[in-house]
Structure 1
């Protein structure tokens, strides 16, 4: 069986280690643990590994956050993976920093990456791992907050959060979303 992990973020050096790129950081961490690398391909950087009995594909869309749906739709279709066998990893300002929630579906909650995916798939029924980045920003400064790099306190905790995300993803790969939700939510 094939699985697809989608790490959301923006390409380019100016976005590396920004809050909005937590999805990229998570799949990069997973790739490092699995000792695989990403190769640039159509609409995404892609990598894969085997986790018996699954072939697990990971993508980082190269379409920028606001057009992530184009990449997700393409790779689900190209790899012939049902949307239920995908998991999108996304930043979430409604959750405290480091808090993680698995969901089988949901609204976009104003997140442009999720909005793009819902539009491309014509549905909000796709699994996601929401990773809290907090909401410590003044009114009207959301864009500045998500596109800024992690602060010193967050940087000290990020490795532990990436390790927890790794555990969640491996549980999802091995036991499915329901078991992973029961264990980690």
Structure 2
């Protein structure tokens, strides 16, 4: 069986360690653990590895966050992977930093990357891993917050946070959405 992990973020060094790029950070961390190397492909950087007889692909769209759907649509079609066998990793300001929630489907909750994917797939029935980045910003400060860097306390906790996210991703690859939700949510 083929699986697709989609880490959402923005390309470019200026965005590399911002909160909005936590999807990229999670899949980068997993790729290192699995000794998978990213190569530039059409509309995304792509890596792959074998896990429990599953071919697991990882993509990081190169289309910027607000146009992620174009990349996801291309790779789902190209790899012939049903959207239910994909998992999108995304930042979430409604969850405290350190909180991770797996969902089988759901709304975009105002997230432009998820809006783009739902529009491109004509569905919001695809699994997503919501990675909490907190919401410590003043009214009108959302953009600056998500495009800002993690604070020193968050950076200290980042390795354990990424370990937890990686553990959830591997459980999802092995056992699927419902079992993983029951185990980790």
Query: In which range does the TM-score fall when normalised by the shorter chain?
Result: over 0.9
- CA drift of 1:120 comes to 0.3
Within a 5 Å distance, the mapping from 1:106-185 to structure 2 comes to 106-185=106-185
In the TM superposition, structure 1's runs of 4+ consecutive aligned residues that sit over 4 Å from their partners are none
- CA drift of 1:93 comes to 0.3
Aligned counterpart, 2:66? 66
- CA drift of 1:53 comes to 1.5
Separation in structure 2 between the aligned mates of residue 124 and residue 113 of structure 1, nearest angstrom:
12
Separation in structure 2 between the aligned mates of residue 36 and residue 56 of structure 1, nearest angstrom:
10
- CA drift of 1:128 comes to 0.1
Aligned counterpart, 2:15? 15
Helix, strand or coil at the partner of 1:98: coil
Helix, strand or coil at the partner of 2:89: strand
- CA drift of 1:49 comes to 0.0
Within a 5 Å distance, the mapping from 1:37-52 to structure 2 comes to 37-52=37-52
- CA drift of 1:100 comes to 0.4
Separation in structure 2 between the aligned mates of residue 3 and residue 58 of structure 1, nearest angstrom:
9
Report the TM-score, using the length of structure 1 for normalisation.
0.99
Could you report, residue by residue, the CA deviation over 1:55-90 in whole angstroms, capped at 9, with x for unpaired residues? 000000000000000000000000000000000000
Query: Superposition RMSD on alpha carbons, in Å?
Result: 0.4
Separation in structure 2 between the aligned mates of residue 51 and residue 18 of structure 1, nearest angstrom:
29
Aligned counterpart, 1:75? 75
Report the TM-score, using the length of structure 2 for normalisation.
0.99
Within a 5 Å distance, the mapping from 1:16-35 to structure 2 comes to 16-35=16-35
| Structure 1 unmatched ranges of 5 or more | none
- CA drift of 1:124 comes to 0.8
| Structure 2 unmatched ranges of 5 or more | none
**Count of residues paired in the alignment:** 185
- CA drift of 1:36 comes to 1.4
Separation in structure 1 between the aligned mates of residue 31 and residue 76 of structure 2, nearest angstrom:
19
